[in-house]
Amino acid sequence: MAQSQFALSWESYKSNVCSGFSSFQQNGELVDMTLAADGHLVKVHQVLIALASPYLKQLIVSVPTQHPVIFLNNVSHPTLSLILEYIYTGEVRVAAENLSAFMDAAKSLHIRGLENITDSGSSTTRTETSMNQSNMDNTRSFKKIEQILPPNAKKIFVNVSADSGMVAVEQANVDDSMHDYSDRMDDTEHDFDYDDDDDNKTVDTPSKPDHETKTAANVGAQEKLDKMNLQFTVSIRGALQIILNRYIYNLHSSQSTGVRRWRCIDYRNRKCLAFVTTQGNVVLNRANPHNHSFHDKKIIDKIEKNAVYSAIDDVKDLENVKTHTKKGSDSSDFVSFLQGYKCDPAVKKLQEYIRIDTSKQENVELSVQFWRREAAKLGLPFKVYRPGRLPVCITTLEGSKPDLPSILLNSHSDVVPVDAELWTYPPFSGHIDDNGILFGRGTQDTKGVSIQYMEAIRRLIEKNVTLDRTVHVMVVPDEETGSFDGLIPFLKTDDFKSLNIGFALDEGITSTDDTMFGTYVDKRPWQMQFNLQGASGHGSSIQKQTVMEQVQTLINMAMEYRNQQLVIMSANSPIDYGSYSTLNMNMLNSGIANNVIPSKASAVMDIRLSVDQNISDFEALIDSWLAKLGNKTTIKFIRRVEKSSATVVDESNTYWVALRDTVKGLGFKIVPAVCPATSDMLLLREIGIPAIGFSSRTNMVSRMHDVDEYIPVDNFLPVKNCATRRMLFYFAFLVLINLCVSSTIPGVQNDPAVKRLQEYLQIDTSDPENIDNSEKAVNFWRRQAAELNLPFAVHRPGGLPICVLTLIGSKPELPSIMLNSHSDVVPVDDELWMYPPFSAHIDEEGNLFGRGVQDCKSNGVQYLEAIRKLLEKNITLERTVHVTVMPDEETGGSKGMVPFAKTKEFQALNVGFALDEGMPSSSDVLYALYVDKRPWQMKFEIQGGGGHGSFLKTGSVIEQVQTLINTAQAYRDHQSQKMKSKAATDYGGYTSLNINMIKGGIAGNVIPSRMTVVIDVRLSVEEEVSEFQSVIDSWMSKLGKNTRLEYIRRMTSSTATAVDDTNKYWVAMRDTLKSLNVTVLPVVSPGTTDMAEIRALGIPAIGFTTNRKTEIKAHDVDEYLPVETFLEGIDLYAALIQRLANLP
């Protein structure tokens, strides 16, 4: 008997599954793969991606990892967001201007339902495309819809979480009233620009529609968010805050609709990116995990002060804030203070001074004018001295007893350079945020101090305070780079002696608490530039004794010493700066192009010696480094101080006693300390003047030389109820490269072909974007075509010119022969060349020197001269021959062969076989390159903590660079061993890796916040892409979340041309050369050429050059070609062209 069965149906199954997956992706739940596009990483679900795209499914299956990472070339981040919305929800709305990019990407990724889409709508402004529920393989159609999105329109925003290094995808239901705010995880890039007088900027948005539609999943999520315990409070500065789940958030922005965006109060100090969006008393959204503990203590303090509220109306108005703040509290005082601080004249002066970019010497006179005006306002004498190249400014307040030794208040006008892209606000804007924080280069070091000096004097004058001693406010230049054009020459003048200095105050150390420091001795600076040299060449080769091996050795030795000092530092008191030496590699530069192994590198090391470091011992250490690096390495001392005098800090120094006792009397503590850096006071102490480094910057984080240098305005100005204590600061401020030998070989230099090659070489085409030189190359080829009466055409599919000279055959219907070369050459470091690289100099031995003479301008001219010989002999060719000259080959061909191969103009050439550049041979055997190795050129951008070059900071960029170099070199060493086990011509049997560019650092005494490393890899024929990708993924994992990887070029496949009897072109080429007693050997190309694109189209192509018995110097210093070899090659090409173009 049949059993009873029950049919159970989940009516909302489809909507729940769609919304459920969307919610999972939004929260990063159960995601198991990553898509990378346009520098962004998006975590998604393999099963959905595989269902939506058979192409991506194949890639997923081919990657044997639990969490594959797939890089999508030529897909932008916004386009990927739209595609993901389509995959996760079944529909998407695309703006008309974005439709083409969207469809191109969808088709290239074989997204089901979008591969064969047709237009069935009318011409309007936005496009909606949806996925048929019953059959995912059907042809889809799209319809045009209105510009305004309905309330349930979804937006997807993708960004990287700074906390985890992983990616979250936000997906929110938005209505028209919320179109203007987009909650992104990387909110530092999209902050509102506040005017100086606005605490919060209001954004006008369209009015909210009468109806609102929500999906089931979002309704549930909203109900959950609505039940969160949201409370409101105010900061000590009177700024609106919220409390949510034991965390406090500051108000960041607001809209006229009542939508507000809040970010964690630890956004500045800890870079916490957590944020919340509210409307009224309701939480709309929250994102990003906190990277710190709860704010329980702060919340309890606010509760005890009755400063926590359940509704925003209770506290959103500033007047209400005042009313609800306890009488006499610091908060009330600060609210009143903040209302006027942006108009305070002292703050305005500091902002004006900050806005003078004195990291550039051309702005130094603007600084002089600033100080001249300030002195004039106070009626004080002002003088400018120029003992060096730069001005020293002195403003003087004369004392009643000018015979007494004077007090010098010193500061410096120069500031270290900046990497503006890393700053939250422009570094020379003097921006003040809504928390009263003034940002700018020099706020801490030391423009803030300079203004405080003058304001202190202003107040003394206003109060008619008489001083016995004369006070000099001195502003020196060039302190950051060693004072060679500032205080050093000034000290030797009679003008300085006339100042009669008895005691000096200068810049000091920032304190994180109420303790103040008096620095009495400076650590000794040793700033050294190591200049390293090594073998150079093509980026696809594995050279011995490269400069990067030397760089690696130097970094490892330096970091070993640095780590020893870190151990010493950790064993001592945090303020015992004198017990250890600091070492930072602040500048590291090498490389001229991604595919050129550099011949030299420079590394600038900033060392500050501990108080007890013996000079001879340290010299011996440096000598041992130089011995390991070899005799090609030189060292230049930028600064080298062997002795640093100390100022006495005991009862015998009346200046110190006065400073100490005054601080103590005001309830503060001042501690004598060794200055971890080096200031101008080192110079004053050396001539016997007692000097102390002192700063009023307490309860703040030191950002000297770092990104986002700042000072809280309340730290800069006196605040009510703190005026007496701030007077302490006023007291403290009162109580810083061609010889060219022309030679000829009879007949050679006057050969017309040689003359033409020299002319071509003398056009500097190392920069394809240089329009003038690019057009000079075009004009060169146009003239050659005209001389031979050949058709000439110029095509620009990628913006750069492609030249085609054509010799029409007697049977033009036959597939043609393509003779390809490229006009662009790699950059040069001309200081290392024997002769100017674009002079086309011929030496006494008949060697023609010039960038491109091997790679590959000689090939182009040899083609031309071979055709000239055939024409002169009236030889008829059946097949048409095209001489093509490409741009941009050296950087990947993205503006040359890559787009040209897709055009009708290329198709019209009807190419049957192609010859292109090859590889010189050191023997009589010539090489035929039938397949190219696959290039992976990668740019690693590494970020880390910056700061002053005198600090030993963990997590620095150079530590990560060291890790990357050691990891990459270890892989290179493995491949080098593999190369040694192969035949000399088995270039395809190993992968080459070269670190070709390192860029980082902005000044010798600034720990860099980021460095870039460019690695050029050419994969072996046998290397599996997935396996090498896993290698790179492991590198990225080791480097951590602050490293970003950009693929400059990434080729996953390379087609081969048959080099056997099945290929008639190869047979003709081989047999022709054999008849000329020339042996040709098929080999894998160690590099990558334009032929990779041609072979991918199914066209047989061989890389070939006639340069035998020639040293390989492509991309190398002193690239050259014997003139006799060049002329011999013309005859070889003439024979090859005649044979190939007459094949039936």
Whichever domain contains 51, its CATH number is: 3.30.710.10
The number of domains in the chain is 5
Residue 648 lies in a domain: no
Last residue of a domain, one of 1020, 1050, 1080: 1050
Q: What is the pLDDT of residue 666?
A: 64
Separation between Cα atoms, residue 1131 and residue 1109, nearest integer Å: 16
DSSP 22-87: HHHHHHT-S--EEEEETTEEEEE-HHHHHHH-HHHHHHHHHS-SSS-EEE-TT--HHHHHHHHHHH
Integer-rounded Cα radius of gyration of the chain: 35
> Do 46 and 79 belong to one domain?
yes
Last residue of a domain, one of 1017, 1050, 1083: 1050
> Do 233 and 286 belong to one domain?
yes
Q: What is the pLDDT of residue 750?
A: 74
- Mean pLDDT rounded to a whole number for the chain: 82
Measured CA to CA in angstroms, residue 1123 lies from 75, 741, 751, 841, 849 at distances of 47, 17, 10, 11, 10
Q: Is 889 one of the catalytic residues?
A: yes
Across 148-161, average pLDDT: 33
> Do 1010 and 879 belong to one domain?
no
Can you read off the two tokens belonging to residue 202? 């209001």
Q: What is the pLDDT of residue 1096?
A: 95
- Domain of 947, CATH number, reads 3.30.70.360
> Do 431 and 380 belong to one domain?
yes
Q: What is the pLDDT of residue 203?
A: 32
> Do 919 and 791 belong to one domain?
yes
- Percent of the chain as helix, strand, coil, to the nearest 5: 35, 25, 45
pLDDT class for 852, splitting at 50, 70, 90? very high
Separation between Cα atoms, residue 569 and residue 691, nearest integer Å: 26
pLDDT in tens, 875-905: 999 999 999 999 999 989 999 999 999 999 9
Q: What is the pLDDT of residue 456?
A: 86
Q: What is the pLDDT of residue 12?
A: 74
Across 496-513, average pLDDT: 91
> Do 616 and 684 belong to one domain?
no
Q: What is the pLDDT of residue 982?
A: 92
Residue 848 lies in a domain: no
pLDDT class for 868, splitting at 50, 70, 90? very high
**Percentage of residues of the chain with pLDDT beyond 70:** 83
Across 35-45, average pLDDT: 79
Residue 767 lies in a domain: no
Across 1012-1040, average pLDDT: 95
The answer on pLDDT for 221 being more than 70 is no
Residue 793 lies in a domain: yes
What are the residues whose beta carbons fall under 8 Å from the beta carbon of 175, sequence distance 6 or more? Answer: 151, 208, 209, 212
> Do 311 and 425 belong to one domain?
no
> Do 388 and 306 belong to one domain?
no
Residue 532 lies in a domain: yes
Residue 663 lies in a domain: no
- What per-residue string of b and e applies to 252-265 under the rule 16 or more CB within 10 Å gives b? bbbbebebbbbbbb
Rounded to the nearest 5 degrees, what angle is found at the Cα of 90, between the Cα atoms of 85 and 93?
A: 55
- Domain of 193, CATH number, reads 2.20.25.240
pLDDT class for 64, splitting at 50, 70, 90? low
The answer on pLDDT for 1023 being more than 50 is yes
> Do 314 and 415 belong to one domain?
no
Q: With CA atoms as reference, report the closest residue to 603 among 635, 581, 632.
A: 635
The answer on pLDDT for 579 being more than 80 is yes
Measured CA to CA in angstroms, residue 289 lies from 162, 250, 261 at distances of 9, 16, 16
Number of residues that this document lists for the chain: 1144
Separation between Cα atoms, residue 691 and residue 409, nearest integer Å: 10
Q: Considering 115, 480, 706, 824, which one is annotated as catalytic? A: 824
Domain limits for position 99: 12-161+168-174
Last residue of a domain, one of 336, 370, 389: 336
pLDDT in tens, 101-139: 888 888 888 888 887 665 444 333 344 455 544 333 433
pLDDT in tens, 71-84: 777 788 888 888 98
The answer on pLDDT for 268 being more than 90 is no
Residue 6 lies in a domain: no
Measured CA to CA in angstroms, residue 487 lies from 127, 411, 425, 689, 948 at distances of 68, 11, 32, 14, 21
Residue 662 lies in a domain: no
Minimum mean pLDDT among 234-238, 243-247, 610-614, 761-765: which range? Answer: 234-238
Q: What is the pLDDT of residue 1117?
A: 92
Separation between Cα atoms, residue 282 and residue 226, nearest integer Å: 6
> Do 353 and 500 belong to one domain?
yes
pLDDT in tens, 767-786: 977 889 999 999 999 999 99
pLDDT class for 299, splitting at 50, 70, 90? confident
Q: What is the pLDDT of residue 3?
A: 60
Helix (H) or strand (E) holding 1056: none
- What per-residue string of b and e applies to 61-70 under the rule 16 or more CB within 10 Å gives b? eebeeeebbb
Q: For residues 750 and 587, which has the higher predicted lDDT (pLDDT)?
A: 587
> Do 311 and 358 belong to one domain?
no
Across 806-813, average pLDDT: 96
Q: Is 686 one of the catalytic residues?
A: no
Q: What is the pLDDT of residue 649?
A: 94
Q: What is the pLDDT of residue 39?
A: 62
> Do 914 and 940 belong to one domain?
no
- What per-residue string of b and e applies to 885-912 under the rule 16 or more CB within 10 Å gives b? bbbbbbbbbebbbbbbbeeeebeebebb
Q: Considering 163, 606, 708, 889, which one is annotated as catalytic? A: 889
CA 137 and chain centroid, separation? 43
Q: What is the pLDDT of residue 339?
A: 52
